[in-house]
Structure 1
Amino acid sequence: MCGRYALTLTPEELKEILGLLELGAFPARYNIAPTQPILVVVSGQAQERGSNLPDRRAVLVRWGLTPSWVKDPKEFPLLINARAETAIGKASFRAAMRHRRVLVPASGFYEWHRPSKERNEKPQAYWIRPRRGGVVAFAGLMETWSSADGSEVDTGAILTTAANASIATIHDRMPVVIKPEDFARWLDCKSQEPRDVADLMQPTDEDFFEAIPVADKVNKVANMGADLQTPLVVETPQKPPGKKAGDGQLSLF
């Protein structure tokens, strides 16, 4: 799954990488959590023929998709993720898969390795980022929910798929990553039906991400500083008398 992520690139960097028409200022965010506003990229109005201007737009949505047919969001579960394997046919995501596919830019995401209860070990948090840095674009879905009084709320979810071998040691799911050369096809809901983009909803290459163990401060939404991504360094117990030199050392989990 994807339950927390970060977006720390500057607006100028995002605008260039994602081909956005315009993008207002915003601060770096190191701990983006469900129900918070998130930045998503949508396909905009086509430019005049011969224009070199980009046609993609950035909009804010609430993280937690609410289908348009829901009567009371308070009685509906918070859909922060959608399983790529079933999203095309599932009622909650079917319309969004057909008409409102988006990109969710991120600098990386957080995941927790939760050992079995029998092992009696604490969960370990990981900061998972592109090995080469920069921005990554998750496949997302957007839906607008309208209340009885006419007010509207734009909502969104991130698509997930089975984890590749490197991420599977931490968690069995991971976000779907859309490559830059596939941005246009994923966002094109006019000519590309869900079955036409099903091939894009696959795990990334094994070496795309690197996983860095971090402290569990990311569990609290109130913690929002860059220190959330500081690698966790733990000192192993001191070697008892008689042990060889080098038995006690600093190690990265």
Structure 2
Amino acid sequence: MCGRYSLTTSLDKLLPRLRGPLPPGLAEHFAPRPQVRPGEPVLLQRQEHGQLQVALALWGFVPDWSRDPRTTRRPINARSETVAEKPFFRGAWRHRRALIPADGFFEWQPRTVDGHPFKQPWLFRRRDRRTFWLGGLWDRWLGRDGGELESCVVLTTAPNDLLARVHDRMPVVIPDGLEEAWLESVDGPALRALEPLMAPWDPAAWEAVKLERLPGETALQQLDLLAHPPGETAGG
């Protein structure tokens, strides 16, 4: 599961990793985000018509065949084990994979404190604090009135040893150096060859940080978040 992540890296440090022109206005309005939430614009790297692009998409997936995004369920996570089979994600898995830059992600551990249920937030990040790629999918919905909506979803996989004590799912992380292979539009055996990239990743270079409160949350927001973590309704 991945219901929150962070991207606190400055744009000048991200640019060497991004390929393609930036979306209009991004350079002027980009700001580090200690907490990226579902429903917010997400920075991502993609390939379309053979060209690498940097884009913004709303976090909460709407397939291109949806009749109305206002009534369509909009999952924030998709299980990597079944993404090739489920009609909701199948088209995007074949042709519209994405890389989502992040420098940390959050998970919640169910606990009991003084007899009361409690969700303990944890931050997972690389020990060297480097930015990494979350594996995702994107899609573009076109309305009859000419309206357009680009959206995305984060892929999840089984947890590694670092995550297993906190949650039964974790986000897919695409290794450095395999970005173009992940983004290329392929089918058949070449598509199946990507499946090992979605396996649980080696936790040796990672760390788990126990938090009292998520970055950028007020006390009231934090109480609501701990009572209703995003993973409980995300469908991942």
Q: TM-score with structure 1 length normalisation?
A: 0.77
User: 3-state DSSP class of the match of 1:74?
Assistant: coil
Q: How does 1:65-214 map to 2 (within 5 A)?
A: 65-115=61-111, 120-190=116-186, 193-214=190-211
Matched, 1:62 2:51: no
Shift of 1:120: 3.6
User: 3-state DSSP class of the match of 1:41?
Assistant: strand
Structure 1 residue corresponding to 2:45, chosen from 41, 44, 57? 41
Q: Please tell me whether the aligned partners of residues 34 and 64 of structure 1 are also in contact (alpha carbons under 8 angstroms).
A: yes
User: 3-state DSSP class of the match of 1:13?
Assistant: helix
Number of equivalent positions: 215
Alignment match, 2:227: none
**Identity score, percent:** 35
Change (3 A) 1:218 1:8: closer
Superposed CA deviations along residues 61-104 of structure 1, whole A, max 9, x for unmatched, are: 00001011111223222211110000011111100001101100
What letter is aligned with 2:105?
Answer: F
Q: Please tell me whether the aligned partners of residues 159 and 168 of structure 2 are also in contact (alpha carbons under 8 angstroms).
A: yes
User: 3-state DSSP class of the match of 2:12?
Assistant: helix
Structure-2 separation of matches of 1:21 and 1:120: 50
Alignment match, 1:11: 11
Q: Please tell me whether the aligned partners of residues 68 and 146 of structure 1 are also in contact (alpha carbons under 8 angstroms).
A: yes
Structure-1 separation of matches of 2:220 and 2:107: 16
Shift of 1:223: 9.6
Structure-1 separation of matches of 2:74 and 2:131: 26
Question: Tell me, which stretches of 5 or more residues in structure 1 are unaligned?
Answer: 47-54, 225-253
Structure-1 separation of matches of 2:218 and 2:141: 25
Find the structure with the greater CA-based Rg: 1
What letter is aligned with 2:20?
Answer: L
Q: TM-score with structure 2 length normalisation?
A: 0.82
Structure-1 separation of matches of 2:38 and 2:157: 19
Question: Tell me, which stretches of 5 or more residues in structure 2 are unaligned?
Answer: 222-236
User: 3-state DSSP class of the match of 2:86?
Assistant: coil
Q: Please tell me whether the aligned partners of residues 106 and 138 of structure 1 are also in contact (alpha carbons under 8 angstroms).
A: yes
User: 3-state DSSP class of the match of 1:73?
Assistant: coil
Superposed CA deviations along residues 186-219 of structure 1, whole A, max 9, x for unmatched, are: 0111478431211111111022321111123459
Matched, 1:21 2:20: yes
Q: Which has the higher contact order (CA 8 A, sep 6+)?
A: 2
Aligned-residue CA RMSD (Å):
2.6
